[in-house]
Structure 1
Amino acid sequence: MLDDGPALEVVGISAFDERIYREVLACPGIAVQELVMRSGESSGRIQTSLSRLRTKGLVSRLWGRSPRWTATNPGTAIRSLVRGLQSDLDRLTDTADQLEAAFRTVGQDLKEGGQFEVLAGPEEQARWYVRLQQEAKEEVLTFDRPPYVLDYHNPVQTGLLRKGVRYRTIYVPEAFDHAGALDEVGSLVKAGEEARVLPALPFKMAIVDRWLAVMPLDMDPPLTRGVLIKGSTMVVALVELFERLWQEALPMWPPAPGDGAPEPAGDPGRGEEQKWAELSPEHRRLLAMLSAGLKDDAIARQFGTSPRSLRRRLRGLLDELNAETRFQAGAQASRRGLV
């Protein structure tokens, strides 16, 4: 008996039928009763198996008073089955091509009515985050906070800023905990991004042209599921939330003197107001970071100094401004329109 283990399942031959086929192949002209004795199976099961093998073209029944069975040429029979399987696979491939074309048509026409699409896994969320920006014609609104599906470098933003797409981003202080993040935001601001900071954000999201939005469904890392929202009232609500928080947020880089900062007031308190109005751009930036709640380590990295040196520098600034605490200094700077 030839028995190298099941090999024909790929062309639709079960392990049992292959076992019977191998028996017939090894003993041309074998009778059903002999197959029953060799296999230990019932006559009915053997007959059914032989019928299936005959339909597949693997065996044929010999003429005679006592039914006997012989195998057809294995090479010819099996190659015929493979050709049939290949034909089925070709039809399946054609169907896959048609379905893919339909998928791309639906996927590229992003403005076909309001709908939601669940995005599985951080990779899919990252892919859509980049794709939505590439679809942007006018504006991208972003809540930026950890955890992230990409690193802090946005691969497409600078190019889109150059093309005139407006970017407005609200950050949280934790967004600048890793080295290089503040430098990256500084580069984006120079390229045209409008950046502000809030102590906290409820979630992270990106909105494109006030029509499309992508956001995670939960904020626990890793971000296993997200949602793509297309042209629905949910996007309208998210835009409204963004605009309200934008008004509350503080600019990352404060205005320079003459760019909107108030002039010194009249005689009462003129000396104190003069101090505030004459703050250097560096001190204005430091106060903006304090007001936004950035940690000492993050601010120190941005100024290229140590946290200890930063605290000494900050103490001198507070004394100069007659402010008791960093919070008080940041609040007064915000009230005076300096940050």
Structure 2
Amino acid sequence: MFEALGLSRLAESVYLTMLEFPEAGVEDLGRVLRLDDGQVREALNDLARMSLLRTPPSGAPASGTQPPRPVSPEVGLSMLLARRHAEVARHQQEIEESRAAFETLLAKHAESRPKNPGPEVRRVEGIEAIRARLRELADSCVWEACSFTPDGAQSAASLEASRALDAEAIARGVRLRTVYLDSVRNDQPTLEYAQWLTELGSEVRTTPTLPVRMLIVDRRLAMVPVDNDDSASLALEISSPGVLSGLVALFNSVWKNAVSLGSARRRDDEGLSAQERQVLQLLGEGHTDEMIARRLGVSVRTARRIASNLLSRLDAQSRFQAGARAVARGFSPADSCPPVGRQFDLMGSQYEQ
């Protein structure tokens, strides 16, 4: 129940039992929960580390047969929840800052070296050339391919064309790591394709939004868009070690906080999903339904429905008021960065015929 707050199942069981039986000792707790003394003491140490016990000043939390008393849930769990909110807000801010820095870096490359970017940044112009280069990269990949796919539902033609290339890569022992938007869980063809990938040994996760479209091959080459408003015409193939290190770090940060395809999407203590939290942030930033739909990879109708439900839950009269109330209640970070352009619309159709 409280795993999202960093509390293990063992520690949670001991804590709840202590709340129910305040005078219970170590042996009593072990008898009620059918645990040995070592397990009870381990749980008590975890609870003390998370400040959920009033630790006696004379010794360790698990010493003796009489454990310290539990901190009330109003104080202890509220503190853990506030800490978790701060961590989520900090992570979101890091992602937004990385995206802004990444967009700025790409813009500088495009402006300063438009004709001859040099050996570390190569321009690939035209959709046919981009698709051909993506096929070459897929064939040449040796051990790992990491990608962000921010389109939501994928077209049938794109999925079918990608199937053989992905299967061949996995058969060669390539580790495929793909991050889709949460919205693909509601599109049966894309969901079935992602499940097929996992059955072959690939790794698939989802997240509410993605900072950019990206493919990284063997951590030696990356392909990214240049112009988000004309994504099919120009992409950059990057081999610069410094830029690649930043892109790999960005991927790993998003990957760490994304949810595995086989896992249920968690809701927080306010009943909000990660996708709904993202919509609240976008509302506060003044995004339209069309812009929100693009970021989430859903239809405008779905984006409008989510926003309307959130306005009703927050008893807000306007979209901006909903975003402001979300910040006031700790649902959304107050210092998030504004968006930088719309998402690149290319690699979801990278193998279309």
Which category of TM-score, normalised to the shorter sequence, fits these structures?
A: 0.3 to 0.5
Higher relative contact order (CA 8 A, sep 6+): 2
Bigger Cα Rg: 1
